Amino acid sequence: MEEQQEMSMTVTIRPPDRRDIVAVAELIEEIELFYGSTEIQPFDERRSQVEEALFGSPPLASALLVEDEAGDLVGLAAYSFLWPAAGSSHSLFLKELYVRDTLRRQGVGARLMDELRALAAARSGCSRVEWMTDRDNPNARAFYKSLGFAEFDGKIVYRVDTNTG
């Protein structure tokens, strides 16, 4: 994909490959801690789920990874294509956008959003990009507003856990 100089930090945004499985599993733990989780999934289980999600047959999700100049993963955008969207078209659904705190407010998140929009625009039949954020996450809401995105107030989100026992 592209490289860009941001405040003396060069990052590369690229799709994952199998050599990234361990680093993505480690980044998932960082994301869980960021959101306040106190029960972290065992590493081997997390690594296995990352491998299945990104490289299973078929893959359950796609991602863009942010790699810093040292080759460390410092962010990701995890997404899937959902059908149907408008009419019989489909949408790119952004499930997670995360940039390590040391790189926030340097344009990396905006670049990820640009890359996602470009992926959606290049995919035949993809009519939109959609995502959610928590109402009590003012930083995320301010970030999306700064990019010119308006909040959509037309849906109510439901969730049920499948691990009941």
Annotate 92-129 with DSSP letters as a single string. Answer: EEEEEEEE-GGGTTTTHHHHHHHHHHHHHHHSTTEEEE
Examine the pLDDT at 1 and tell me if it is beyond 70.
no
The Cα–Cα gap between 80 and 58 comes to: 12
Min mean pLDDT across 4-8, 68-72, 82-86, 157-161 is at: 4-8
The Cα–Cα gap between 74 and 109 comes to: 11
Q: What's the pLDDT at 3?
A: 43
Q: What's the pLDDT at 165?
A: 55
